């Protein structure tokens, strides 16, 4: 297959430069029941001017919150069509920040956001470019301040909905995909006009969930017990096994990046709650993690939170952290699967280092997706986190393996003091969070 068809659309108001739009009180274009359309920003296809595109969504470290997704588009500007000073341009007066931008590949959205900057470069020979920098909907949330008010006791997802329903936020209902949540949050007092994004990310931390902007522009919240499909919809493999997709590069990490054998959790208005893994400390030394100001409803919940994190993170883990795939050369079915991938999906990765020994198979949760797109190339890179973030489900083919590192979860029983099962078959006391 050739390089997939990537297209870029930017929102422009073309009322002044086109005769196709309705104009109030105009004797021709102002007639009711006419064929003229209402003005305002419409998404205009500017693909013919595109030199290159890059998209970066997700987070760089597994324990971080998700950051704003961003995109960069380089446009040919020899005709000055994207020059804000060129009055002959059909987009004159429209080369502005905060214009909507959408990027699709083979008709599937890969980025939805808003332009933050237009950077123009000129060469003396007449060659020029317009470089567009865009940020997803987190841009709007980060620039919105919350008015003072007092929350009620709510589940984490309910808290997110209550925040984005507030009049100063007014996030569109059509652009939401919010789980109910598992953590019960306290009735905290919001003061000092915090920005909406910062507060929502505090809710994310208090749930151990995932808050991100999906590629279709929806504000998405996944709580910690939201399980991806357990069917292998996408397999990355280097051994050409059936129904798999080959990759061009893979990165493996094994270290202490996520290692924490002492965790101190302090809720808003509470006292510090500490959990330790003495066995891990004797091997690796004390590796501390402190989480302050969480919105948990009691100190007992904070201690459960700390116990869980210690049980999950007290040993280093070997994992595949990154897989890169070039889309050119893949068949249409493979390309469609890759383009359908989203943050928080879980996929299988198969790797035989240097072709020696048995293949290593692991599942990873997608924490980041990056695109590098040029005239004759399109590379997609996936960042993976550990699926030990998901609890064990009995009889499940992925999350039900004995000897895995997933804590036991029984969705018919909300008493969560089951032991953690480790890869070496041993057990260590820990908790599943359900507060």
What's the pLDDT at 21?
52
What's the pLDDT at 25?
61
Rounded Cα distance between 28 and 4, Å, is 43
pLDDT digits (tens, 9 = 90+) for 80-123: 999 999 999 999 999 999 999 999 999 999 999 999 999 999 98
What's the pLDDT at 254?
85
Q: Which of these, 312, 320, 323, lies nearest to 289 by C-alpha position? A: 312
What's the pLDDT at 3?
93
Q: What does the pLDDT profile of the chain (435 residues) look like in tens digits?
A: 689 999 999 999 987 655 555 555 666 555 565 554 555 789 999 999 999 999 999 997 777 889 999 999 999 999 999 999 999 999 999 999 999 999 999 999 999 999 999 999 998 888 999 999 999 999 999 999 999 999 999 999 999 999 999 999 999 999 999 999 999 999 999 988 899 999 999 999 999 999 999 999 999 999 887 565 556 678 999 976 778 999 999 999 887 888 999 999 999 999 999 999 999 999 999 999 999 999 999 999 999 999 989 998 899 888 899 999 999 989 999 999 999 999 999 899 999 999 899 999 888 899 999 999 999 999 999 999 887 645 545 555 555 555 444 444 333 333 333 333 222 333 333 333 344
pTM score: 0.84
Please list, residue by residue across 30-64, b when 16 or more beta carbons sit within 10 angstroms of its beta carbon and e when fewer do.
eeeeeebeebeebebebeebbebbbbbbbbeebee
| Residues 435/184, Cβ–Cβ less than 8 Å | yes
Pairing of strands 219-222, 176-178: parallel
Q: Mind giving me the DSSP string for 131-148?
A: EEEEE-THHHHHT-BPPP
Strands (E), 59-164: 70-76, 100-105, 108-122, 128-135, 149-150, 154-155
**């096994």: which residue's tokens?**
241
Angle at 118 between CA 113 and CA 119, to 5 degrees: 140
Rounded Cα distance between 140 and 138, Å, is 5
What's the pLDDT at 24?
55
Longest Cα–Cα distance in the chain: 85
């Amino acid at each position: 297959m050739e390089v997939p068809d990537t297209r870029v659309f930017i929102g422009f108001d073309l009322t002044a430069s086109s005769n196709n739009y309705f104009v109030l009180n105009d004797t021709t274009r102002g007639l009711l029941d006419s064929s003229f359309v209402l003005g305002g920003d419409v998404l205009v296809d500017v693909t013919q001017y595109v030199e290159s595109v890059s998209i970066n969504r997700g987070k760089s470290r597994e324990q971080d919150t998700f950051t704003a997704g961003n995109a960069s588009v380089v446009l040919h500007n020899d005709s000055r069509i994207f020059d804000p000073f060129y009055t002959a341009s059909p987009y004159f007066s429209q080369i502005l920040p905060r214009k909507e931008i959408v990027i699709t590949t083979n008709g599937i959205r890969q980025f939805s956001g808003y332009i933050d900057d237009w950077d123009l470069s000129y060469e003396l020979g007449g060659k020029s470019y317009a470089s567009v920098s865009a940020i997803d909907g987190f841009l709007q949330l980060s620039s919105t301040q919350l008015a003072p008010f007092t929350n009620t006791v709510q589940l984490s997802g309910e808290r997110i909905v209550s925040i984005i329903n507030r009049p100063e936020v007014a996030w569109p209902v059509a652009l939401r995909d919010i789980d109910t949540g598992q953590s019960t949050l306290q009735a905290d007092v919001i003061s000092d006009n915090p920005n909406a994004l910062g507060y929502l990310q505090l809710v994310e931390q208090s749930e151990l969930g995932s808050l991100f902007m999906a590629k279709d522009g929806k504000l998405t919240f996944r709580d910690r017990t939201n399980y991806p499909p357990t069917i292998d919809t996408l397999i990355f493999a280097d051994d050409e096994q059936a129904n798999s997709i080959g990759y061009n590069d893979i990165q493996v990490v094994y270290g202490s990046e996520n290692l924490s054998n002492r965790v101190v959790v302090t809720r808003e208005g509470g006292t510090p709650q500490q959990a330790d893994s003495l066995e891990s400390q004797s091997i690796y030394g004390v590796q501390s993690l402190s989480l302050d100001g969480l919105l948990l409803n009691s100190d007992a919940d904070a201690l459960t939170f700390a116990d869980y994190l210690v049980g999950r993170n007290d040993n280093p883990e070997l994992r595949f952290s990154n897989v890169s795939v070039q889309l050119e050369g893949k068949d249409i079915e493979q390309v469609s699967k890759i383009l359908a991938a989203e943050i928080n999906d879980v996929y299988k990765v198969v790797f035989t280092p240097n072709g020696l020994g048995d293949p290593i198979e692991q599942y990873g949760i997608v924490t980041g997706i990056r695109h590098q797109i040029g005239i004759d190339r399109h590379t997609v890179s996936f960042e993976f986190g550990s699926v030990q973030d998901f609890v064990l489900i009995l009889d499940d083919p992925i999350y039900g393996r004995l000897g895995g590192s997933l804590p036991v979860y029984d969705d018919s029983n909300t008493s969560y003091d089951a032991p953690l099962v480790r890869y070496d078959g041993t057990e260590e006391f820990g908790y599943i969070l359900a507060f």
